[in-house]
Amino acid sequence: MSHTLHRCGKPDDLNRDFVVFSMSAKTVNAMGSGPKMKRFFEILRKYPAVNFGDVKTGSRFNSDWQTIHDGYKDQSVAHYVFSDAAAVGDILKELKAADLGISVIVSGVFDTVATLCRDAGLPVHTVQFSGGVLGRTERLPPGPVLAITTMCGHGLVSANLVKKMATQVQKGEKSLSEAAAELAKPCMCGVFNTERAERLLREIN
Amino acid sequence: MQIDRERCTCCGECIAICPVSAIRLRKKDAAAGLKAQAVINRDECVECSACFRSNVCPEGAIQEEPLEWPRILRKAFSDPVYTHKGTDIPGRGTEEMKTNDVTGRFRDGFIGIGLEFGRPGVGARFRDAEKAIRKLLPLGVQLEPKNPLTQLIADPATGALQPEVLNEKVLSTIVEAIIPVERFPEVVAAVHAIAAEADTVISFGVISKVAPDGSVPAVKAMQAAGLTPSINGKVNVGLGRPLFPF
């Protein structure tokens, strides 16, 4: 479930895209972790977020914060998406102080995340890199479209939907924010960054 | 998935939502007694339920259907809302590095790899993943036992999957394994050979625990193997309480 890996795009754009999420280990600390997951979700609520969610209950764009919060159970995974690195830095400091004892993962540009960790007094414990896409790459959509679809690591945001939304924006049938919100709906985890999608839709047009 | 032919008005709203382009509009065929409507190519459909959940159909014509083995695997590996019976977690992978600060799954001297067949957005059939497992096992890789693909292996010696699953198409499926750092170059060479034969795309993920001196073994290993590590990815920030010292 490397659902926040393989997000592709230009460095400047990727550097305004952070996913902060928490997961318990099924065989170790999952039992009784539901309230901790709720606490994690409450802490992150104080910061300016682009999206949030849980695969079982949905995201900001197809559910609501309270429903998602109340639905957290022992094996849930809580996600938040931010554009602002400084907010992520403050979150890490607050999570360190909260000492919930469950795993926290940050997806983003490594150099930036490493700096945020250092400033928060946290280690970079384990990392996961993308080694690229291999095989029949001629089947992939063009750059900006792919940059949007890869924000849903489960692959539920289709390239055809991106093209349809880009066309509707071009024709004036939808605003950029309305189109980005439509694109966020299929992503059930809430890891889709709509602010980034708006920038990329502008690029397509 | 299926489309109720009586309810469908052939408006085409559902076409774009499908991640694998399995929905098309069929023209009216008076001779055959068929009206114009949207139809799902069942061989290409991965049962992700994106069309159903979107409520894109104004007539409610898109419906889920009961799925039998082995077709149920399409849903299990494509719809992240579905919880795998074998792993008890949603999604098509495992906890991998996300809980490594607690579990110690990836330790010093080892590298984790994930070959995700079909990602991004193309889809894959299990036969391609089987070919990869057959090539990787002789290299001494240790497959992740909790991965739902590993659980489809019928013969652990060869990596052969249960034969009835091979043609099932899914949004993606991941070969997850752990290898000693020193074997990484030959595994990467095998991965390139696997990709050259694959009838889909493969997203390649590489995991390592940060070494005690602060270096990242995965970066050195990837560069030595001719791979360029991505500038972005996932960082476990070590806030989980470890099960044991490692």
Same structural domain for residues B37 and B135?
no
Domain assignment present for B244: no
Please give the torsion angle defined by the CA atoms of residues B228, B234, B237 and B238, in that order, rounded to the nearest 10 degrees: -90
Same structural domain for residues B220 and B190?
yes
Domain assignment present for B46: yes
Same structural domain for residues B145 and B183?
yes
Domain assignment present for B233: no
- What pLDDT, on the 0 to 100 scale, is given for residue B243? 87
Residue range B69-87, pLDDT digits in tens: 999 999 999 999 988 777 7
Same structural domain for residues B118 and B209?
yes
Same structural domain for residues B99 and B187?
yes
Same structural domain for residues B218 and B97?
yes
Same structural domain for residues B95 and B43?
no
Number of domains in chain B: 2
Residue B233: pLDDT above 60? yes
Q: Are B129 and B149 in contact (CB under 8 A)?
A: yes
**Minimal Cα distance from A13: which residue of B?**
B232
Mutation choice for B interface testing from A79, A113, A125 by most B CBs within 10 A: A125
The SS3 call for residue A92 is helix
Same structural domain for residues B130 and B9?
no
Domain at A11-120: CATH code: 3.30.70
- Residue B144 neighbours by CB distance under 10 Å: 24
Residue B208 β-bridge partners: A127
CB contact under 8 A, B16 and A160: yes
Domain assignment present for B243: no
Report CA torsion sign: B3, B5, B11, B15: positive
Question: Average pLDDT for residues A102-112, to the nearest whole number?
Answer: 98
Residue range B214-223, pLDDT digits in tens: 999 999 999 9
Tell me the residue range of the domain where B43 lies. Answer: 1-65
Domain assignment present for B75: no
Question: Average pLDDT for residues A42-62, to the nearest whole number?
Answer: 97
Residue B90: pLDDT above 90? no
Residue B41: pLDDT above 90? yes
Beta-carbon contacts of residue A39 (< 8 Å; ≥ 6 apart): A98, A100
Residue A36 β-bridge partners: none
Q: Does B98 lie at the interface with A, CB-CB under 8 angstroms?
A: yes
- What pLDDT, on the 0 to 100 scale, is given for residue B239? 97
Domain segments of chain A as ranges: 11-120, 138-204
**Minimal Cα distance from A21: which residue of B?**
B98
Q: Which residues of B touch A125 (CB under 8 A)?
A: 100-101, 209-210, 235-238
Domain assignment present for B204: yes
Beta-carbon contacts of residue B132 (< 8 Å; ≥ 6 apart): B115, B117, B175, B191, B194, B198
Beta-carbon contacts of residue A188 (< 8 Å; ≥ 6 apart): A53, A55, A58, A59, A62, A154, A156, B53, B80, B81
Beta-carbon contacts of residue A193 (< 8 Å; ≥ 6 apart): A17, A19, A50, A51, A81, A83, A151
Residue range B134-170, pLDDT digits in tens: 999 999 999 999 999 999 999 999 999 999 999 999 9
Same structural domain for residues B110 and B191?
yes
Same structural domain for residues B133 and B92?
yes
Regarding an ipTM greater than 0.90, the answer is yes
pTM of the model: 0.97
Residue A205: pLDDT above 80? no
Confidence of residue A22 (pLDDT cuts 50, 70, 90): very high
Same structural domain for residues B125 and B48?
no
